[in-house]
Structure 1
Amino acid sequence: MISSFSSSGSSDATTLVKQGLSFISRGRYDEAIDTFDQAIAQNSKSVAAWFYRAQASIQTRNYEAALKDFRTVLQLNPSYAEAWHGQGVAKAELKLYPSAVDSFDRAIACDPHNDKIWYNRGQALLKLDQPEAALESFDKSIAIAANSHHTWYSRALALVALEQIPAAIGSLDRVVEIKEDCHYAWNYRGTLLNRLFKHQAALDSFQQSLKHLRLNPNALYGLASTYALKGDVETTALYLRQAIQINPHIYSLMARRDANFASIRQHPEISSILWD
């Protein structure tokens, strides 16, 4: 009788896990969690039920609950790479970055060929202001999955932190090769090109960003700042006014402090936009 009851409970739990996964696929995370609760009640050693409940908790931003479930999963299966990975993600969301890196390291020990683990490890290392180690992680991720535009973009962030601006632009070039409509990469590329005094190339980059996202105050502001560096008051005013119309507080404040506007900030046409 005991054996029969155990088998039935395990079968019921498996069915409930499948139902929970169906809820997750439809974005119904609270219902998924309720279903996994039932699965765990049927079989408290169901690794899948604990794991997917943790994943659903991450989607509802209940990271503490997710961590508890991942700990249970890892007690049941210490070599479950995705559980170590999920634990690291939850810790990173709670800003527990050193501990997150430890979890990612454990995940990599179990599954060294998972590009997403290397990527998330790099992100945590960036938060810890360890750009060189982050860059190594992003390179590992790219070696596994060469066409992840997110990883190439994060790689650019690490390179900028290391003051390797031309290399960072090269990474952003790769981003827009992979995903041409990545407007924020075009914007960041333009900003970095201005740091190298390549103003025409920067203008082209900001225009590409606008091409892919029309309501794009960052690109408009980038154009304004580039024309300011070129000393073109009239065109600076044109784009600055458009950016400020979209978000008056942020972009007027930025332009008041941005060194790119220093040479023309007191010009009547510019000062009237910033202070009137």
Structure 2
Amino acid sequence: MSRPPWAPTGIDLTRPSAARVYDYYLGGSHNFAVDRAMADEAMRLWPELPQMMQANRSFLRRAVRFLTGQGITQFIDIGSGIPTAGNVHEIAQRENPDARVVYVDNDPVAVTHSRAILADTAGAVIVQADLRSPEQIFADDALQGLLDLTRPVALLLVAVLHFVPDEDDPYALVAQLCARLPQGSYLAISHASSDGQPELAASHQRLYQRTPTPMTMRTGEEIERFFSGVRLVSPGLVPIPDWRPDEEQVPIPPVPPAPDHPDHGADARMVGYAGVGATT
């Protein structure tokens, strides 16, 4: 397999990447044949998967607009993925040109392209680090040089916690991250869920076993635990499309019953949940 000129050396072109699969769902071009093959297989189970991913991206935009409306001008986006249109700095700086954004990802392809895209962008940097290393994230020179950690920060964990298995104690990791946030900060989370159609959720998890970042679906009750010690703002933890929907919201149509799956009704779909909370 030939290596595209944009792909950094050392990248395994034979193994799919969750970040590149997500890029493909969003209509991006930074993905390989192996990523597209995995995404296409997943879409045979859920034809509406791209719409789900776009709905998640739409939640990110709505959350950033809400947060800038609350006076937040500093953002840490962990698990930011490969840059595509409508990234955090574009939305935040449109609302407030002084907004500053630190992107964090552990995928070298995502980091390489982020650095290229952000090279001439004021107020936005990329940090290569893992969610499981909170100290490394907050100690990074680029983050320290851009953000004032005595002032409120919005921590964005959008579509990333389902890539942290239970054995890594994601609840403790979120608590450690929030403990480093100044008073008046916010936490935004979206997370894939097994609620609604557990059979297909299990199939989706098996697909992601092929990637370096296997997926762990969680129930709504389990996802709400991430907000322990955080005050959820209205409307609370809700299905992703239902968090403060606006005119740009991507509709998620009912899933028709597949020939080899029982009919679970109009809500038979894996969308996940989203919420935003104020730290206390």
Scaled by the length of structure 2, what TM-score is found?
A: 0.28
Higher relative strand content: 2
Greater Rg by CA: 1
Scaled by the length of structure 1, what TM-score is found?
A: 0.28
Q: Which has the higher contact order (CA 8 A, sep 6+)?
A: 2
